[in-house]
Amino acid sequence: MRNKYSVFSLIKNAISYHENWQRAWKDPAPKKEYDAVIVGGGGHGLATAYYLAKKHNIYNIAVVEKGWIGGGNTGRNTTIIRSNYLWDASAGLYDHALKIWEGLSQELNYNVMFSQRGVMNLAHNLQDVRDLKRRTHANRLNGIDAVYLSAEEVKKFCPIINTSPDIRYPVLGGTLQRRAGTARHDAVAWGYARGADAMGVDIIQNCEVKGIKRNGDSVEGIETTKGFIKTKKVGVVAAGHSSVIANMAGLRLPLESKPLQALVSEPVKPIIDTVVMSNAVHAYVSQSDKGELVIGAGTDDYVSYTQKGSHQIVEGTLNAILELYPIFSRMRMLRQWGGIVDICPDASPILSKTSIKGLYFNCGWGTGGFKATPGSGDLFAHTIANDEPHKLNAAFNLNRFVSGDLVDEHGAAAVAH
């Protein structure tokens, strides 16, 4: 039985010098057979396992992870959460996730530090202004909170932004989604892992998938570094490595994996109490609870699995940051890193069945998957349990690349990649 986290458990454990906290999840060896196996122990994969158990009463599940849970893109993103996407299908998908975020800490009994500090998107040219106004209207028709701000209102909401008309790409306006914000990325993975483990899910770390065994057109199990695991249902949530897993099953995906970089500064006192994103000059910044500026850079244009990126990408982002925020000119950057993001041609994800029975893919989140973690897990669990997509992820099927019914969200991807 899992102990409940509360102020009383905190006091009790403080008295015993925090030496007696219960393990948050077990470290089991894989069983011979599971009802379903999730490949990938990031936020999306763990959330999938959690909702399979919680909503669909499938408890005999393994999550296999080649490294440690939350050590991939879950631990490498800039933790921004928003749902101001243009098209109806995306609005449904991302706002579903945002609604779950709003009650997630209570549901998981784990503080995911969800902070609705607002996300502002800036316009730097007349086309940006038109696009952002259109997106604001589209959002409001879909019941998503969005307001358009003039340059003066932008300045009022975030006073450190340089709104002078003299800069190379002056701020002409912006949009604001107040319900948007940030969350603590590790806590999301750990909270879902703890919740799934409590319902009987086996979380198996350091277990890399080496092959997918098929019998004709259906899945029979997976080969891993810890042996063969028999299962009829495999849900792949492997982000940048989705194509690698797909190749094992003889499938082709419309993905390219590219390095995406982020960086953080030294910690300073609170200076920016919201998230500001700028597509045109490619700069986005927020401040973590520790006080570091969290800055997202862009992707490189070549395929790479190195978890590194090119220096000029970071340089370009910092140039833009400095022009928009002259106050940061003497800040020092502490760390920089890369994650491998799987990008779809239409910048929308794939949550889909495949031509192989029992094999499901949740991938293509590209540069913006973190925000969708709870919704993605919920909808992917529905797809696996019922062998049919939920109506909210029906549009995000693999067949859209054949039918041409793409969900083009390049404009709402917040920064151009």
Partner 1 sequence: MFLINCPYCGERDQQEFKAGGEAHIERPKQPTELSDDEWAEYLFMRKNIKGVQFERWNHAHGCRKWFNMVRDTSNDEIKAIYKMGEKPPTQ
Binding site residues, partner 1, CB under 8 A: 241, 243-244, 247, 252-257, 300-306, 308-312, 342, 345, 401-404
Reading the block at residue 109, the tokens are 């009994």
| 57 or 403: CB nearest partner 1 | 403
93 vs 394: CA distance, rounded Å:
10
Cα 273 to the chain's mean position, in Å? Answer: 21
| Shortest distance in whole angstroms from residue 210 CB to partner 1 | 13
Which of 99, 103, 92, 48 has its CA nearest to residue 74? 48
Min dist CB 286 to partner 1, Å, is: 26
Q: How far is CA 32 from CA 220, 224, 269, in A?
A: 12, 12, 52
Buried b (16+ CB within 10 A) or exposed e, 71-83: bbbbbbbbbbbbb
Minimum CB distance to partner 1 smaller for 73 or for 257: 257
42 vs 309 by CB, closer to partner 1:
309
The number of beta carbons lying within 10 Å of the beta carbon of residue 142 is: 18
Judged by CB, which is closer to partner 1: 72, or 173?
Answer: 72
Distance of closest approach, residue 259 Cβ to partner 1, in angstroms: 9
- Least distance CB 300 / partner 1 (angstroms): 8
* Cβ proximity of 88 and 77 under 8 Å: no
Question: CB of 88: closest distance to partner 1 in angstroms?
Answer: 22
| Nearest CB to partner 1, comparing residues 109 and 304 | 304
Q: Smallest gap, in angstroms, from Cβ of residue 366 to partner 1? A: 13
Which residue, 17 or 302, has its beta carbon nearer to partner 1? 302
Strand-pair category, 61-64 with 202-204: parallel
- Using CA atoms, how far residue 414 sits from 150, 166, 223, 297, 417, in Å, is 18, 24, 39, 12, 9
